[in-house]
Amino acid sequence: MFSSLMPQRREFFELLAAHSEKVAAGANATLRLINGLGDGNSNAAALVAEVNANEKSADEIKAKVIARLHQSFTTPINRDQIHSLISELDMTLNVLQSVANAIDMYGIKQSTVEAREMASLSADACMRLNRAVSALGEKGRGTETLNMCKEIEEIESKADKVQQKAITALFQDGANVWQTMKMREFYSLQEAVLDSCQDAAKMIEEILIENS
Amino acid sequence: MEGLNMSIWTLGVLIAVALAFDFMNGFHDGANSISTIVATGALTPKQAVLFAAFFNFAALWVFQLKVAATIGKGTVDPSFVDYYVIFGALMGALAWNIITWYYGIPSSSSHALVGGLVGATVAKAGSGAPIVWEGFGKILAFIIISPLVGVIIGGLLMVLVAWIFRNHSPYQAGKWFKGGQLFAAAAYSLGHGGNDAQKTIGIIWLLLITAGVATKDVATLPTWVIYSCYFAIAWGTYLGGWRIVKTMGTKITKLNAVSGSCASMGGAITLGLATLGGIPVSTTHTITGAIIGVGAATDVKAVRWAITMNLLVAWVLTIPAAGLIAAISWYFGTKFL
Amino acid sequence: MLPKRTEFFELLAAHAERVLAGANAMLRLVNSLGSGDADIAPLIQEVNMNESSADQIKADLLNMLHKAFVTPLNRDQVYALTLDIDRVMNTIQDVAQAVSIYHITEVPSESRVLAAMAVDACLRLSRAITALKDKERSSETVDLCVEIERIEEKSDQVMHRAIQTLFQTEGDDQAALRAFALRQFYSLQEKVLRATKASAQMLEEILIQNA
């Protein structure tokens, strides 16, 4: 009754949506980077720079959100939920950055079918994350958002299976031990992106349930 | 004592019981005003009870005896009242208070008293004839009105504060409220003392009218009655009430310094208005209303509606239950006293 | 019923101090590797001792949280913070124990840098927690938390270099085994910094809630 008279502070939703857009853009650049590995005419360095740039501007948005939390008497959803969600989103982009930078770190020259598949799954999950976060402020779109979160969780379990297949291939007889070590680490990082998406999705679900 | 219509002993015992009821009221309700300042850590529990007790007593110098008049002569016709009726009324109110206190339900001592008085009078008269509907009707109406006013004032205060401090964090706003919170609690304790001590003053006044010692003229009311009633409620507040601190401060909704101040202030304003208008209202109802109003503004889910419903049930039951016990007590009183 | 405010914060500070002492011992351990005559056993022992006394403090804190009617900070958050700080201590212990588990006798300079960074982060964590009891010093606490996050970020680059060097030249099986062991060791070192970052974020969250 009185809550509609309180200051609404919708800008928190806008900032969260802007941040998740950077996450989706970062995932997209990572996908292009991995798909282009080894085909000569793609510029890996430029794509890594693109991921890093997205991460940097997302960091700025995160800092703005935290500063705003210190300067607002009211928040549209719980203070700690905003903080948790922005941290989960930021974590997703950080791991994406790790994936992009790991290519140079491990000196990976060729991608595998599984690595490309994992990359496109994480781009899928991040796109849904972006849509879910953007719809968070709209009361009528609760079920739609909830479904998006469920889809993210399905994508994550699909990625689990892809990773299993990839690791099985790595440990076949006659495998190069160095190659196996490097790619094992690389797949772990790719998987961490999806885990982080799933954590963010669960956080969104928690927010929706508490505010429904 | 010439013209005394009852034995001095009976009169003394009944006055003692009335003061005990007053003491119980402080013990029972006084903690409401301190629950928020203790929960937010503004004062230690010990400081807080002293603080509340002081302002309970200070209400003596603030308010006129209008509420006492409503109870003393505006609820039932004093000519129907004898000391069996007063005995029944006090027993009904006391018993109901003890029952609700034991189960930790913040019910209203005021309505228990009014219910007891009406119950015992009706039992004696055998009909509703002695009820002064102007006064009793007002009391009944304010069972609904006072919490609603509490909700509205509490909620609007919260909205106002939220807009004033919209660009500050609750902690920064809380710094401004350090003094405000104590001010609000003091105002609330004043309102509590003013409204509730006067109900006992009203009962003793009624008793003295029955005994033929005083008349309906306020000037005939001895000052020791006024002082001892305010003292009894303050003493009760000082000694009592840890139990209800928990219910009010933490169970209905979570309060911080700012929302706690708005709730106390909302309760204080409502109580003050009622006391100025001579309407006996329940302090418990009023503060619960204000807390709900504040809760509805900050976070609707923060109001634990199940507990609020629990309170509502206690409210509806109080007058009939205390009245019934009072009627039974009156009956046994006439047989054995 | 009402524990003294100070007692509460003193325990938190003491807990963080144990962690710092453990981190210090871990740094000396890592630095001593490869110097030939180093005796690593007493240093590992020192880390373990700090870990068990931190455990004791953690138990006292959790016990107090269960019993207290009013806590100076949000109960759940102090609970989470205590567990986060304890996790830092456990990751430090893991690093110390990995030295003997993986038979690490020599480490590259990046590993020493990572250990020094962990101590840096733990030092700031300890100072941030000491400042926590004073609400007026909350901006100082926030700054320290930001610094911890910066250190963690920088450690990412050190890790990057370390791993790059590790996998640059593919040698024989013996070299692969050594690379594997060091890779694990680096991960454990990185976990210490991750844990300090998580604690810093928890602290920030507490400050936001109590802001």
| pLDDT tens readout for residues B12-44 | 888 998 998 889 888 877 666 677 677 667 777
CB contact B45 to C (< 8 Å): yes
pLDDT at residue A57 is higher than 80: yes
In chain C, residues with a C-beta closer than 8 Å to the C-beta of B45 are 2
Across C82-108, average pLDDT: 94
DSSP state of A107: T
What are the backbone dihedrals phi and psi of residue A55, each rounded to the nearest 5 degrees, phi first?
A: -65, -40
Across B294-320, average pLDDT: 74
Please answer yes or no on whether A182 and C164 come within 8 Å at the CB atom: no
What residues of chain C, 154 to 193, have a C-beta less than 8 Å from chain A?
156, 160, 163-164, 167-168, 170, 173, 176, 179-180, 183
Q: How many Å apart are CA A129 and CA A95, to the nearest integer?
A: 15
CB contact A212 to B (< 8 Å): no
Number of H-type helices and E-type strands within chain C: 6, 0
Choose the closest CB to B171 out of C70, C72, C211: C211
Return the number of other C-beta atoms located less than 10 Å from residue B327's C-beta.
21
Report which of C8, C15, C18 is spatially closest to residue C133, judged by C-alpha positions.
C8
Please tell me the predicted confidence (pLDDT) of residue C2: 45
Q: Residue B161 corresponds to which amino acid?
A: V
Helix, strand or coil for residue C71? Answer: coil
In chain C, residues with a C-beta closer than 8 Å to the C-beta of A181 are 167, 176, 179-180, 183
Please answer yes or no on whether C204 and A66 come within 8 Å at the CB atom: yes
- Tally of CA atoms within 13 A in the half-sphere of A134 that contains its CB: 13
Please tell me the predicted confidence (pLDDT) of residue B167: 87
pLDDT tens-digit series, residues A77-102: 888 899 999 999 999 999 999 999 99
Choose the closest CB to A79 out of C160, C180, C209: C209
In chain B, residues with a C-beta closer than 8 Å to the C-beta of C72 are 41
C26 pLDDT band, cuts 50/70/90, is: very high
State how far residue A66 is from chain C, nearest Cα, in angstroms: 8
What burial class does residue A11 get, using C-beta atoms within 10 Å of its C-beta: 0-12 exposed, 13-18 middle, 19+ buried?
A: middle
- Closest residue in chain C to residue B168, using alpha carbons only: C211
Task: Give the CA diameter of chain A.
Answer: 70
pLDDT at residue B304 is higher than 80: no
Report the neighbours of C using a cutoff of 3 or more CB pairs below 8 angstroms.
A, B
Q: How many Å apart are CA B233 and CA B20, to the nearest integer?
A: 9
What residues of chain B, 287 to 306, have a C-beta less than 8 Å from chain A?
293, 296-301
Higher pLDDT residue, C48 or B110? C48
In chain A, residues with a C-beta closer than 8 Å to the C-beta of C191 are none
CB contact B45 to A (< 8 Å): no
How many Cβ pairs within 8 Å bridge chains A and B?
47
Q: How many structural domains compose chain C?
A: 1
pLDDT tens-digit series, residues B106-142: 678 888 889 999 999 999 988 888 888 888 998 888 8
pLDDT tens-digit series, residues A156-177: 999 999 999 999 999 988 888 9
Please answer yes or no on whether B298 and A7 come within 8 Å at the CB atom: no
B4 pLDDT band, cuts 50/70/90, is: low
Please answer yes or no on whether A73 and B165 come within 8 Å at the CB atom: yes
Which value does ipTM take for this structure? 0.75
State how far residue C160 is from chain A, nearest Cα, in angstroms: 6
Tokens of B129: 């004839």
Evaluated on CA atoms B95, B101, B102, B106, the torsion sign reads positive
Choose the closest CB to B296 out of A2, A7, A71: A2
Q: What is the CATH number of the domain that holds C40?
A: 1.20.58.220
How many Cβ pairs within 8 Å bridge chains A and C?
44
Report which of A115, A117, A110 is spatially closest to residue A37, judged by C-alpha positions.
A110
pLDDT at residue B3 is higher than 50: no
- Closest residue in chain B to residue C207, using alpha carbons only: B171
Q: Which range of residues forms the domain containing residue C158?
A: 5-209
In chain C, residues with a C-beta closer than 8 Å to the C-beta of A185 are 183
For A117-127, b where at least 16 C-beta lie within 10 A, e where not — what string? Answer: bbbbbbbbbbb
Report which of A83, B163, B254 is spatially closest to residue C208, judged by C-alpha positions.
A83
- pTM metric for this prediction: 0.76
State how far residue C164 is from chain A, nearest Cα, in angstroms: 5
Report which of A197, A166, A191, A190 is spatially closest to residue A179, judged by C-alpha positions.
A166
CB of B311 closer than 8 Å to CB of B106: yes
CB of A136 closer than 8 Å to CB of A145: yes
Please tell me the predicted confidence (pLDDT) of residue C122: 97
Across B157-166, average pLDDT: 91
pLDDT at residue B308 is higher than 50: yes
Across B277-297, average pLDDT: 86
- Closest residue in chain A to residue C208, using alpha carbons only: A70
Helix, strand or coil for residue C96? Answer: helix
Percent of chain B with pLDDT over 90: 24
In chain B, residues with a C-beta closer than 8 Å to the C-beta of A206 are none
Please answer yes or no on whether B169 and A70 come within 8 Å at the CB atom: yes
Please answer yes or no on whether B44 and C211 come within 8 Å at the CB atom: no
Q: How far is CA A76 from CA A80, A118, A136, A137, B244, in A?
A: 11, 35, 11, 8, 32
Q: How many Å apart are CA B111 and CA B117, to the nearest integer?
A: 10
A121 pLDDT band, cuts 50/70/90, is: very high
Report which of B231, B167, B170 is spatially closest to residue B196, judged by C-alpha positions.
B231
Please answer yes or no on whether C167 and A182 come within 8 Å at the CB atom: yes
Q: How far apart are the first and last CA of chain A?
A: 16
Q: How many Å apart are CA B25 and CA B283, to the nearest integer?
A: 10
Choose the closest CB to B171 out of C70, C72, C210: C210
Please answer yes or no on whether B162 and A69 come within 8 Å at the CB atom: no
Please answer yes or no on whether C167 and A87 come within 8 Å at the CB atom: no
Higher pLDDT residue, B218 or C130? C130
Return the HEC string of chain B.
CCCCCCCHHHHHHHHHHHHHHHHHHHHHHCHHHHHHHHHCCCCCHHHHHHHHHHHHHHHHHCCCCHHHHHHHHCCECHHHCCHHHHHHHHHHHHHHHHHHHHCCCCCCHHHHHHHHHHHHHHHHHCCCCCECHHHHHHHHHHHHHHHHHHHHHHHHHHHHHHHHCCCCCHHHHHHHHHHHHHHHHHHHHHHHHHHHHHHHHHHHHHHHHHHCCCCCCHHHCCHHHHHHHHHHHHHHHHHCCHHHHHHHHHHCCCCCHHHHHHHHHHHHHHHHHHHHCCCCCCHHHHHHHHHHHHHHHHCHHHCCHHHHHHHHHHHHHHHHHHHHHHHHHHHHHHHHC
Choose the closest CB to C170 out of A84, A104, A178: A178
| Cα of B270 vs its chain's centroid, Å | 13
Q: How many Å apart are CA C176 and CA C167, to the nearest integer?
A: 9
pLDDT at residue B333 is higher than 90: no
